[in-house]
Structures are given as C-alpha cells and as structure tokens.
Chain A
Amino acid sequence: MSDHIENGLVENGVVENISRRSLIGGVFSAGALVLAARILPEEAWADTNEYHGKAASSALRPSIYLGIEPDGTIYIVTHRSEMGTGIRTTLPLVAADELDADWSKVKIEQGIGDKAYGDQNTDGSKSIRGFFEAFRESGASARMMLVSAAAKQWNVPESECAAKFHEVVHTPSGKKLGYGALATAAGKLPVPKPADVKYKPKSEWRYIGKESKIADLADICTGKATFGMDIKRQGMLYASIERPPVMGGKVQSFDDKAARQVKGVSGIETIDGFKPPYTFQPLGGVAVIANSTWAAIQGRKKLKIEWNNGENAAHDSEQYRKELLTTARKPGKVVRNIGDVDAAFAKASKTVEAEYYAPLLAHATMEPPVAVAEFKGNKVECWVPTQNPQAVQDTVAGALGLKPEDVTCHVTLLGGGFGRKSKPDYVAEAAILSKKQGGKPVKVVWTREDDIKFDYYHSVAGMYHKAALDSNGKATAWLHRSVFPSISSMNDASSMYGFDVEYGMGLNDMPWDLPNHRAENGPAKAHVRIGWLRSVANIYHVFSGLSFADELAHAAGRDSLEYQLEMIGPGKIIDFKSQGVANYWNYGESYEKFPFDSKRLRHVLEVAGEKSGWGKRKSGNGWGLGIAAARSFTSYVASVVEVEVDKAGKIRIPRAWQVADVGMVINPERVRSQFEGAAVMAAGIGLTGEISVADGRVQQSNFNNYQVARMNQAPMQTDVHIIESTALPGGVGEPGVPPFVPAFANAIFAATGKRVRDLPFSKTKLV
C-alpha cells in the first residue's frame, strides 16, 4: 500500500495539457497553464458548452481541473458537491500540495454537471478514494512543467531547480521565478507521462495530513454562503406542491378556486405521477405558483384534491414488520456460505437466536429539497443543491424530452445531503413547472412536512440471527438472515430481493472467521420509495450483527471486546470468492487496492478498548459501555459508547469514542468532524429515528414527531482517534455511523440488562 502511494500511480488517469485548446476561455486568459487529469481517452472528450467558460476546462474528461494564470492565481475546479464533508476544500488541497502552491492564491470553482468531469455523484464516501490520485497527479504535473520552464529560461539543468511555495528556485544561484511568471512558458511544454510523474516525499507535504480550514468557513458564519434555498433569479416564481399521500397515487380531481383567491397566487399546474418504476421521477401532484414562498404555501392549503391512492393504500408498518420477521424465519437466497451451519447447529452444545428490526428513516437534511429551474429555448438551466448534477441533467432531460446536454446544472452548497440530494425528483418538478409557466424561472420549495412525507426512505429491515456455541462458549456457526425492501425497487417495480450493494454492507461481509457461516436474503416488496441514507444497509445489518455478537459474548459469559476479537481471529485478507460470495461489491473498489483486511479491524477494536478504558469499570446500575466495529466504505471503525440510564429510563451519552483507520488522511480536522457528526446522527437513529406508515401514508411530518438528535441527546463528547496509516485513503463521511448504533445498544444492555433488538430504543421501556 505505502509503495503505491509513494509511487503515486494513477491507474486510468492521464494528464493532458489543454492550455492551447480554443475552448478555454472565461477566467483563463490566453497563456494560462491549464492541466486536466481525466479518466477517459481523448476521443471521448465532448465538445464544450457555453458554461465551460467559467469552469473552463471541461470539454475534456478531467477528473480535476487546474489552471494557473500569469498573475499567479491557481484555479482548481471541484466537481464534487459540498454538503458538509469539506470536499470542496480537501480535493484542491491535494493538488495544491503537490504543486507546492501558496493556498492563499488558490481559487476554488464549483464545476457544473458534466460527464466530462467523470463521476460527480457525491455519495458512497468516495470523493477522496476516487479522485485523490488524479488531483495529486495534476498538481505534480503542473509543478514539473513549471520547473522545466524555469530551467529552460535560465538555461540550467532541471535537476538544479526546485518548486517551492509558488516559486521555482535555481538552487545554486538562488534565482527565483514565480509560478505566474512561468505559467505561459510552462503551458507550451508537454505534460509528463503518468509513469514519469514524480511525487513529493511525504516529509515535504505542506497540506496533506495537516489541519486546514474549509474555504467557505467565513461565509457560513456570516450568512453569506449560498445554498440552493438562497437562489433567486430575475422574475422568479415560487411553487409549493401537494403530492399524492400514498406512493404511486394520482390526482383524480381537484378544486383550486379557493387557492386562486389567495393573494400572490398566480397559477395552478398539475404534475403527472411517475410511470413505474419510480426512479427519480417526480411523485406528481398539484402545484401552486405564487410571487413568494409564503403565498404559494398558503394557496396550497386551500386546494381540495381527490386522490386515486392506488395499490399501496393498505400499507401498514406494524403489519409489514410482522411480515418481514416471518420471512426472516424462513430460508432465503444464500449470499454467502462457509461450512455447514445446519450441521453445526445440530451438534452445538448451545444455540442462541434473536430477531432484530430497524424501521424506515428519513434523511431530514436541514435544507429541505429545493431547486430553481429556468426553461429557455428548449434548454433548461437550473441551480440546485444536488449531490449528483449529472443525474439532474438526465432526470430533467427525461422529464421534458430533452438531451442531457441541454440541461445546465449549477451546483450550490448543500444544506446537508446524506443521500437525499442524489435523487433529483425535486429538480424535475421545478423544470416542468418552469416550462408550463412559459419559461419563467420557478423555485420549488419543499416544506419540512414534504421532506418527511415524501422522502426516498432508508429501508426498513427484519433480521434473524442464530449462532452455535461449543462447550467453551466459542462460536462455531452463525446464520444471518435479512429481509428488506430493496433500493433496487427504484429501477425495478417487481424487485423482491436486495442486490450486491446492500449485501456487501454488513450481510455478506461480516468479518468473523468462523468455520460455519451463512448469510441469506429473503423477499420483500417496497410500498414507499426506498433510497440510500448515510451508510445505507450497514445501518440495519451492522446494528443487528454487532448487537448479536455482544449477545453471544454474554451467552458465553465472556467479555464482549475479547469475544469480538476472537471471532475476527488473528486477521487476514478475507477471500470472499471462496466463501460463496458471487460478486463482492467492495464499495466499487478493486479488491487488490482495497482488500478487506480484518487485521485492521482488530486493530481499531484494540485501540478503542485502550482509549475508552474498556473493562476498567464494572457496568450495571444504569451505567455501561458498549463496543462494536465494522469495515465500511473501505475504512475500519470501532465505536465505544458510554451510557447512563436514569430511574425514569432516560438515556444520556456522556462520552463516546470513534477509532478510525481510514487509510491516509488528507485533512485530519475534517475527518474528525465527520466522525463526531456520525456519532450524533447514529445516536439519533438509536434513540428516536423512525418513520412509520398507516393506510399507505407516512405518519410523521416534522421534527416534533420525527425526532433527530438535539444537543441534549447527542453524545456530550465524542473523542475521535485516527489511526496513522499509509494505506490508500478510504471513506470518511459514512463509516462512523454503522458501528456506533450497536455499540450504543450494547451499552444500554451493559447499563440495564435490557437487550434492545428494535430500533429506535425509545420504543422499549428500559426500567
């Protein structure tokens, strides 16, 4: 691994000098040195559109874009979306480091949606994983070209010159030239071939591994930062939409007389419901158009709509829960198999079994879905807080019968994403309404109630676990069944089973080194829209799996940390192929570069034990520690949660520990903040997170009945410990969530003796 980093291999990336290409305009004046690291071959580079003037680059297929102006300003395009991870700052830091740039002379530009940038879907905790190497190569290549240009100008060997903090220095003479002064000449030189790119030694890193502040910090603290909710266009209209209360329902008839009477209301439009499968299409409904958000909302309240609710109107969460758990008792589709669990159960000295349940969850980003769209000359321009601007292009184009390249998607800051804003149904609504309103710009604002009631929900799941223990309490076999409506229902209305992505999140990749292990998936049909939420299927799989591991430790009369380490074994690269895992997803990464190394999982557990003082204080009487660990998004994380449960059953979390091996760390400050935040979100999932459905309708509506963690419920303090590593960077945004939830449940058991197998914990009386 470390060799890999030191050599800076870019497997697919190619850095191409595009400074002489005519398409570069806008911020880049003639003579600028422009580099683009791209993923696809040159022939795949599309021609540009008018909006590339600003984020220039981008007719190419750059995964990054970097330009140096003769005034020394460096422009770096971030094509990933900023929703709080700090990625808008962190990826440019990587390029700036290799370039040995003065960070104060770097300007960050947000890329529009364009395939030319490569993958822009900012989810899966993959921005650094996927683009670290490309950004690094781009910075290094620029540096080498600047050095080369200076050496030529001075007529000295390149070996006597070095790039140092925005200048190239001729070491023997002390002569210096700034990057700006060299940019034009350097832009005429060929770009080094990937194999010839030389990287800085780690000892010379200026930004990587150091604490850096995010670029938008001051704007955020003064209210100047622009989120999607803050966009305003000349002549813009505001829309609020009444959507079918049951998924798949349609408008049968409606009366808008009273709505039209509301001052400020200027129009009523209908939006068709989706054609199954639901994909990213709008849900449909009736839109009230007005001259302010308030007027639109007021008008909407006056609509009288008759709905044809369709086949999901009978859906009921209580009933469905029973169905899922009944299904989980039956054999399902085998997605991993080692040895023979049935034979092991038959001869076990003890078996343990348990059912677990985790409900639907809503994303509840602080900024609800919102979009501004303007339909003009058979093209659409939109301004969106989106995690996936290319999906915006495709979805809007699909809704209006356009080509994706006819849709320009400007990406604003996102007031939270968590997976919700990868799904641009709300942008299609705005585009449809703009077209219906004769091309006037339309802003669709989702109320909080809309957000909670019409989400793409994190899936509900029923799970069954059974394990065999030998006479010494050692686990010899484990059966893990999971039943959940799948995300694949989004693209396949008949979907009954999960798919590799969901299996590979805690179902077919449990770390245990047991002689007998089988994972199965049973059938379930979706009755609400299912989507992905921060750490996805890991939430229910890791909750149940690591809670059950704790149950086994207690059944064996053993310490939970010791027992979990024993089940992991000495540690190894897990060979899933030989264990009946047909297609281990591995978070989309090559297994060679990012193998599941259970030694790293052991290590985070051991460190978590040390940091938290595990085993030093006796649990019970309303106090306890719980521990769990999981690999997700190629990172390894152990969580320890301390809880106090008072006599009224009220839970408090005085402290928590998150120990993370995320490989190499670019900005430790932002890594810590992600793991602190994940602890808070996970605490909320554990305590109160639940969406339920009755008569096909979501029962929650706002933060009073869909409760997320507040300051007085969140961990009072979360200590984040980052493991020093030279391995390739792994995910950071999501991996802090999965182990926290079972560590929390295990702590409640330690404190109270109550095993909580249902999320959220608020449903169980603890004392």
Chain B
Amino acid sequence: MIKLKINGRERSFDGDPEMPLLWYLRDEIDLTGTKFGCGAGLCGACTVHKNGEAVRSCQTSMKDAAGKSITTIEGLSPNGQHPLQKAWMEANVPQCGYCQTGQIMQAAALLKKNHKPSDKEIDDAMSGNICRCGTYQRIRSAIHAAGKEMA
C-alpha cells in the first residue's frame, strides 16, 4: 500500500507501483488539470510539485511518489488566485490552454526560488514546457509580472 499526500489530502494506492503518478491523478482520482502530453518527460504538460519541486508526473512512478507531498494545479491556490494565475489571466496567456497548467506549475516552482528571474533564467526554467500554440512571450511576461507581485 502506497501512501502519499495530494493537495494536502492523504491518499492510499494499492495498484501497480510502477504506474506513473500522472495516470493515478487523471484516471483514478479525477484530477484532470494535470495533462498527458508526451509520456516521456519531453513536454512538461504533466508538471506537478513533489515536495515543492517541479517534476514530470509522467516520469514519476507511484513508488517514487510514496510518502511525498504532491501539489497539482488544483491545489496550487484554494481560489485560483495564485499570483501566476492572476498574471496569466491578466496577460491573456492561454490559447487552447492544454499545456498551461503544466506551464503554471513549472513557473510556480521557479518563482518560489527566485522572485526576480531574468529573461534567460525564465527561458532556462521553462524550455522543457512545450506550447504548440506559441504563447511563450506572454508566459515570460506573466512570470515577470507575478514575480513582482510575490516579491
């Protein structure tokens, strides 16, 4: 039996310990804000926080998540008002929106460590997250804006 905490709530799981956390979140407990994009850690759509660090949930097995505290987009802010979410809305970042939850989770991990990232630091932190609609310049400006609010 694997025990873990998801968005502050204790959960237990007795299925295949090799199953990626992504599919547990999506198929088993219906937290579908975390998206499936590549299954190979190449696109970032499935990004969540594991003990506060951004990880790819498609590359994190349930075994690896055991005993850990996981935060998904649903748990980032109780009312959807994380500075990044507000900045995202203010800058009208999303187009189709599919990758954006992963982008926000990746950016949230960056800002936790660094409220004033440079363009280069943002590019380095965010280049593992693909947006096929091409919203990158707005993502960058929204991260700057949110960082200011958090500083």
Q: Which A residues contact B (CB, under 8 angstroms)?
A: 82-86, 213-214, 216-218, 220-227, 229-230, 232, 238, 263-264, 292-295, 297-298, 364-368, 413-418, 445, 447-449, 669, 673-674, 676-681, 702-704, 708-718
Residues 130-144 of B contacting A (Cβ, < 8 Å) = 130-140
**Contact among A224, A445, A674, A702 with B33 in the assembled complex (CB-CB below 8 Å):** A224
Whether the Cβ atoms of A712 and B123 lie closer than 8 Å is: yes
In the complex, B12 has a CB within 8 A of chain A: no
Whether the Cβ atoms of B97 and A225 lie closer than 8 Å is: yes
Which residues of the other chain, A, contact B131 by a CB distance below 8 angstroms?
A: 366, 680, 711
Whether the Cβ atoms of A448 and B134 lie closer than 8 Å is: no
Name the residue on A nearest B62 (C-beta).
Answer: A294
A680 CA to B106 CA, complexed, in Å? 20
Whether the Cβ atoms of B96 and A416 lie closer than 8 Å is: yes
Which residues of the other chain, B, contact A298 by a CB distance below 8 angstroms?
A: 16
Whether the Cβ atoms of A221 and B88 lie closer than 8 Å is: yes
Whether the Cβ atoms of B119 and A222 lie closer than 8 Å is: no
Which residues of the other chain, B, contact A218 by a CB distance below 8 angstroms?
A: 80, 89
Given A217-B94, A293-B27, 19 more contacts at CB 8 Å? A83-B96, A84-B97, A217-B92, A221-B88, A221-B100, A223-B33, A229-B36, A264-B16, A365-B98, A366-B130, A367-B37, A368-B36, A413-B96, A416-B132, A448-B37, A673-B95, A702-B39, A702-B42, A708-B130
Which residues of the other chain, A, contact B89 by a CB distance below 8 angstroms?
A: 213, 217-218, 221
A364 CA to B77 CA, complexed, in Å? 31
**Contact among A221, A445, A711 with B123 in the assembled complex (CB-CB below 8 Å):** A711
Contact A681/B127 with A415-B97, A676-B137 known, Cβ cut-off 8 Å: no
Contact A680/B98 with A223-B72, A366-B43, A712-B127 known, Cβ cut-off 8 Å: no
In the complex, B150 has a CB within 8 A of chain A: no
Contact A292/B104 with A681-B132, A703-B38 known, Cβ cut-off 8 Å: no
Which residues of the other chain, A, contact B43 by a CB distance below 8 angstroms?
A: 366, 448, 703
A704 CA to B133 CA, complexed, in Å? 18
**Contact among B19, B37, B95, B137 with A718 in the assembled complex (CB-CB below 8 Å):** B137
Whether the Cβ atoms of B98 and A227 lie closer than 8 Å is: yes
Which residues of the other chain, A, contact B126 by a CB distance below 8 angstroms?
A: 711
A600 CA to B20 CA, complexed, in Å? 53
Q: List 18 A-B contacts (CB under 8 A).
A: A84-B95, A85-B95, A223-B73, A224-B33, A229-B35, A294-B23, A298-B16, A415-B96, A415-B98, A416-B132, A445-B36, A676-B134, A676-B135, A703-B130, A711-B126, A711-B129, A714-B136, A716-B137
Which residues of the other chain, B, contact A704 by a CB distance below 8 angstroms?
A: 40, 42
Residues 103-151 of B contacting A (Cβ, < 8 Å) = 104, 119, 122-124, 126-140
Which residues of the other chain, B, contact A216 by a CB distance below 8 angstroms?
A: 94, 97
Whether the Cβ atoms of B97 and A292 lie closer than 8 Å is: no
Which residues of the other chain, B, contact A703 by a CB distance below 8 angstroms?
A: 38, 40, 42-43, 130
Name the residue on A nearest B30 (C-beta).
Answer: A232
Please give the distance in Å from B37's CB to the nearest CB on chain A. Answer: 5
Count of interface residues, chain B, beta-carbon cutoff 8 Å: 60
Whether the Cβ atoms of B127 and A710 lie closer than 8 Å is: yes
Name the residue on B nearest A370 (C-beta).
Answer: B36
Whether the Cβ atoms of A677 and B36 lie closer than 8 Å is: no
**Contact among A227, A230, A678, A711 with B139 in the assembled complex (CB-CB below 8 Å):** A711
A364 CA to B131 CA, complexed, in Å? 10
Name the residue on A nearest B87 (C-beta).
Answer: A221
Contact A680/B94 with A229-B32, A366-B43, A447-B39 known, Cβ cut-off 8 Å: no
Which residues of the other chain, B, contact A449 by a CB distance below 8 angstroms?
A: 39
A716 CA to B139 CA, complexed, in Å? 11
Please give the distance in Å from A739's CB to the nearest CB on chain B. Answer: 16
In the complex, B11 has a CB within 8 A of chain A: no
Name the residue on A nearest B105 (C-beta).
Answer: A223
Whether the Cβ atoms of A673 and B74 lie closer than 8 Å is: no
Which residues of the other chain, A, contact B135 by a CB distance below 8 angstroms?
A: 673, 676-677, 680
Name the residue on B nearest A414 (C-beta).
Answer: B96
A546 CA to B39 CA, complexed, in Å? 38
Interface centre among B39, B134, B136, B140 (most CB of A within 10 A): B134
Name the residue on A nearest B73 (C-beta).
Answer: A223
Number of A-B contacts defined by CB within 8 Å: 191
Which residues of the other chain, B, contact A222 by a CB distance below 8 angstroms?
A: 33, 73-74, 77, 80, 85
Please give the distance in Å from A747's CB to the nearest CB on chain B. Answer: 18
A223 CA to B131 CA, complexed, in Å? 16
**Contact among B37, B119, B128 with A716 in the assembled complex (CB-CB below 8 Å):** B119
Name the residue on B nearest A449 (C-beta).
Answer: B39
A669 CA to B28 CA, complexed, in Å? 38
Which residues of the other chain, A, contact B123 by a CB distance below 8 angstroms?
A: 711-712
A213 CA to B27 CA, complexed, in Å? 31
Please give the distance in Å from A168's CB to the nearest CB on chain B. Answer: 33
Name the residue on B nearest A709 (C-beta).
Answer: B134
Whether the Cβ atoms of B35 and A366 lie closer than 8 Å is: yes
Please give the distance in Å from B140's CB to the nearest CB on chain A. Answer: 7
A709 CA to B135 CA, complexed, in Å? 11
Name the residue on A nearest B31 (C-beta).
Answer: A223
A713 CA to B124 CA, complexed, in Å? 11
A321 CA to B127 CA, complexed, in Å? 32
A226 CA to B33 CA, complexed, in Å? 9
A614 CA to B71 CA, complexed, in Å? 49
Which residues of the other chain, A, contact B140 by a CB distance below 8 angstroms?
A: 711
Whether the Cβ atoms of B137 and A415 lie closer than 8 Å is: no
Interface centre among B122, B127, B130 (most CB of A within 10 A): B130
Whether the Cβ atoms of A676 and B138 lie closer than 8 Å is: yes
Whether the Cβ atoms of A214 and B33 lie closer than 8 Å is: no
Name the residue on A nearest B75 (C-beta).
Answer: A223
Which residues of the other chain, A, contact B6 by a CB distance below 8 angstroms?
A: none
Contact A678/B35 with A294-B27, A413-B96 known, Cβ cut-off 8 Å: no
A86 CA to B137 CA, complexed, in Å? 18
Whether the Cβ atoms of A678 and B72 lie closer than 8 Å is: no
Which residues of the other chain, B, contact A676 by a CB distance below 8 angstroms?
A: 134-135, 137-138
Which residues of the other chain, B, contact A214 by a CB distance below 8 angstroms?
A: 92, 94
A368 CA to B46 CA, complexed, in Å? 13
Whether the Cβ atoms of B132 and A364 lie closer than 8 Å is: yes
Which residues of the other chain, A, contact B127 by a CB distance below 8 angstroms?
A: 710-713
A674 CA to B92 CA, complexed, in Å? 12
Which residues of the other chain, B, contact A711 by a CB distance below 8 angstroms?
A: 122-123, 126-127, 129, 131, 136, 139-140
Which residues of the other chain, A, contact B93 by a CB distance below 8 angstroms?
A: 221
Please give the distance in Å from B149's CB to the nearest CB on chain A. Answer: 15
A245 CA to B131 CA, complexed, in Å? 28
Name the residue on A nearest B43 (C-beta).
Answer: A703
In the complex, B54 has a CB within 8 A of chain A: no
A83 CA to B95 CA, complexed, in Å? 7
Whether the Cβ atoms of A293 and B35 lie closer than 8 Å is: no
Residues 1-50 of B contacting A (Cβ, < 8 Å) = 15-16, 19-20, 23, 26-28, 30-40, 42-43, 45
